[in-house]
Amino acid sequence: MKRSLALFTALTLSGCLTSMPSSAPSTEATPTKSTAKSSDDSKSAKNEPPKERQPLKRVVGYFPDWTHNRKGTCKYTVDEIDPMLFTHLNFAFARVDGGDRAHPTFKLAPFDTTDLGADGQYAKFVALKKKNPKLKTLLSVGGWTHSDPPYDWIFSAMAETPEGRKQFIDSAIKYLRDNGFDGLDLDWEYPSEPTRGGRAIDTKNYIKLLSEVHAAFENEKLGPGKEKLLFTVAAPSGVYIKWYDLPKMHASLDWINLMSYDYSGGWAHASGHNAPNPELGGGVAASVSIYKNFGVPPDKIVVGMGTYGHTFAGVEESKPGAPSTGNGPKQRCTEEPGLVAYFEAKELIDAGKIKPMWDETAHVPYAYDEKGKVWYSYDDVKSFNQKLDFIQDQGLGGAMIWEVDTDDFHHGYPLISECTKRLAR
CB 135 within 8 A of CB 74: no
CB 383 within 8 A of CB 277: yes
The three-class DSSP label of residue 212 is helix
Does residue 257 lie within any of the structural domains? yes
Phi, psi of 85 (to 5 degrees): -80, -15
Q: Which helix (H) or strand (E) holds 206?
A: helix 202-219
The bridge status of strand 339-341 relative to strand 308-313 is: antiparallel
Tens of pLDDT along 248-289? Answer: 999 999 999 999 999 999 999 999 999 999 999 999 999 999
CB 284 within 8 A of CB 28: no
Say yes or no to pLDDT of 123 above 50: yes
What average pLDDT does the segment 307-330 reach?
98
Q: How many CA atoms lie within 13 A of 337 on its CB side?
A: 8
Burial class (CB in 10 A: 0-12, 13-18, 19+), 162: exposed
pLDDT band at 20 (very low <50, low <70, confident <90, very high): very low
Q: Greater confidence, 386 or 13?
A: 386
Does residue 107 lie within any of the structural domains? yes
CB 304 within 8 A of CB 402: yes
pLDDT confidence of residue 216: 98
pLDDT confidence of residue 52: 81
What average pLDDT does the segment 226-251 reach?
96
Q: Where in the sequence is the domain holding 406, given as residue range(s)?
A: 53-306+380-420
What average pLDDT does the segment 361-372 reach?
98
Give the residue from 276, 273, 234 showing the smallest Cα distance to 387: 276
Cα 291 to Cα 298: distance, rounded to the nearest angstrom: 8
Tens of pLDDT along 179-227? Answer: 999 999 999 999 999 999 999 999 999 999 999 999 999 999 998 989 9
**Count of other CB atoms within 10 angstroms of residue 138:** 24
pLDDT band at 425 (very low <50, low <70, confident <90, very high): confident
Say yes or no to pLDDT of 117 above 60: yes
Does residue 129 lie within any of the structural domains? yes
Does residue 40 lie within any of the structural domains? no
Q: What is the DSSP letter of 357?
A: E
Radius of gyration of the chain (CA): 22
pLDDT confidence of residue 1: 60
pLDDT confidence of residue 35: 34
pLDDT confidence of residue 50: 55
Verify cis geometry, omega within 30 degrees of 0, for the bond prior to 93: yes
CB 306 within 8 A of CB 261: yes
In DSSP terms, 108 is beta-bridged to 96
Q: Residue type for 265, please? A: G
How far is CA 416 from its chain centroid? 14
Using CA atoms of 188, 394, 84, 257 in order, give the dihedral in degrees to the nearest 10. 0
pLDDT band at 17 (very low <50, low <70, confident <90, very high): very low
Does residue 4 lie within any of the structural domains? no
**Count of other CB atoms within 10 angstroms of residue 40:** 8
Does residue 370 lie within any of the structural domains? no
Q: Which of 32-36, 115-119, 233-237, 333-337 has the lowest mean pLDDT?
A: 32-36
Q: Which of 189, 193, 344, 418 is catalytic?
A: 189
Give the residue from 192, 197, 260, 359 showing the smallest Cα distance to 3: 260
Q: Which of 22-36, 329-343, 406-420 has the lowest mean pLDDT?
A: 22-36
Say yes or no to pLDDT of 31 above 50: no
Q: Which helix (H) or strand (E) holds 135?
A: none
What average pLDDT does the segment 322-327 reach?
98
Cα 286 to Cα 283: distance, rounded to the nearest angstrom: 5
pLDDT confidence of residue 288: 98
What average pLDDT does the segment 377-394 reach?
98
Give the residue from 143, 64, 24 showing the smallest Cα distance to 401: 64
pLDDT confidence of residue 15: 33
Share of the chain above pLDDT 90, in %: 87
pLDDT confidence of residue 4: 39
Cα 327 to Cα 336: distance, rounded to the nearest angstrom: 9
Rounded to whole angstroms, what are the CA distances from 34 to 31, 37, 148? Answer: 9, 9, 48
Q: Which of 14-23, 213-222, 378-387, 402-411 has the lowest mean pLDDT?
A: 14-23
Is 189 among the residues known to form the active site?
yes
pLDDT confidence of residue 143: 96
Phi, psi of 100 (to 5 degrees): -75, 125
Does residue 356 lie within any of the structural domains? no
Does residue 136 lie within any of the structural domains? yes
pTM of the model: 0.90
Q: What is the domain count for the chain?
A: 1
Residues ≥6 apart with Cβ < 8 Å to 371: none
pLDDT band at 33 (very low <50, low <70, confident <90, very high): very low
Give the residue from 202, 141, 142 showing the smallest Cα distance to 173: 141
How far is CA 404 from its chain centroid? 11
Verify cis geometry, omega within 30 degrees of 0, for the bond prior to 160: no
Q: Please, what sign has the CA dihedral across residues 233, 238, 242, 248? A: positive
Tens of pLDDT along 37-94? Answer: 333 443 444 455 557 889 999 999 999 999 999 999 999 999 999 999 999 999 999 9
Q: Residue type for 306, please? A: G
Tens of pLDDT along 80-106? Answer: 999 999 999 999 999 999 999 999 999
Cα 361 to Cα 295: distance, rounded to the nearest angstrom: 28
CATH assignment of the domain containing 250: 3.20.20.80
pLDDT confidence of residue 49: 52
| Distance from the first to the final alpha carbon of the chain | 30
